[in-house]
Amino acid sequence: MAAGIVSAQAQEQQKPEQQKPGKSFVETFDTLDKKLWYVSDGWSNGDHQNCTWSAKQVSVSGGTLKLGFAAGESKGRKYVCGEVQTNQRFGYGAFEVRMKAVAGSGLNTGFFSYIGPVHKQPHDEIDFEVLGKDPSKVQVNQYVNAKSVGSAKLVEVPGGADKGFHNYAFVWEKDRIRWYVDGKLVDEATDPAKLPSHPAKIYLSIWGSDTLKSWMGPFVDPGKPIAAEVDRVAFTAPGDACQFPDSIVCKLNKGTQ
């Protein structure tokens, strides 16, 4: 449900050559590379979301991307929130993030791949979502053709997703998906009917909901501006070399996972 219903206002910002699956990269946020990232601004993902995406809630400093959530009237909503998405789409490979999520009932910190009708494609998605009502865990899941086909499994994050930076990775292959938290395998999908097949954009976001209480908990106003933090994002295409020492690709190449 990370992307869920995407507004038609979330228009494609891509040139024809950018429709080809992207190549391996490592982003450490020394700056916000606008060739790589598109900043969502001025819409929401549907009535379930109580905040409007705002470019003012996206910033980079000290090698860290900050995605904020704060009180602020915008487009009929009482809050504003931050999201970035890649301009390019990425196919099979290892998707990795090092991030610190936020705590708070009714809040969601997400790292996921998504493609859908707004891109003139079927809705496919692979998720990591930290539900702020219990940041000791992260939820993993996947969508195929707009249907949740995963277990929506909650897995432990050692020390808490909101207490420090943790490594989250999913390795997407034609015949399986594997999810990892801090290098540990936490879930796997192998049913062909439950595997996305369309190259997708990478998203990072924080948002809230007044209505998804059974899933995210009753929304509680944080009382002050808050922000999720992202230290690094990487994609490694199949067959490419490990790009940094604690990449899941290094472990897989060594046969330790």
Give me the active site residues, please.
125, 129
Amino acid identity of 12? E
First to last CA, the chain: 28
CA-wise closest residue to 57 among 227, 232, 210, 233: 227
Q: What is the spatial distance between Cα 8 and Cα 15, in angstroms, rounded to a whole number?
A: 18
Contacts of 80 (CB under 8 A, 6+ apart): 51, 52, 53, 54, 56, 57, 68, 69, 70, 71, 72, 74
Token duo for residue 2: 């990370």
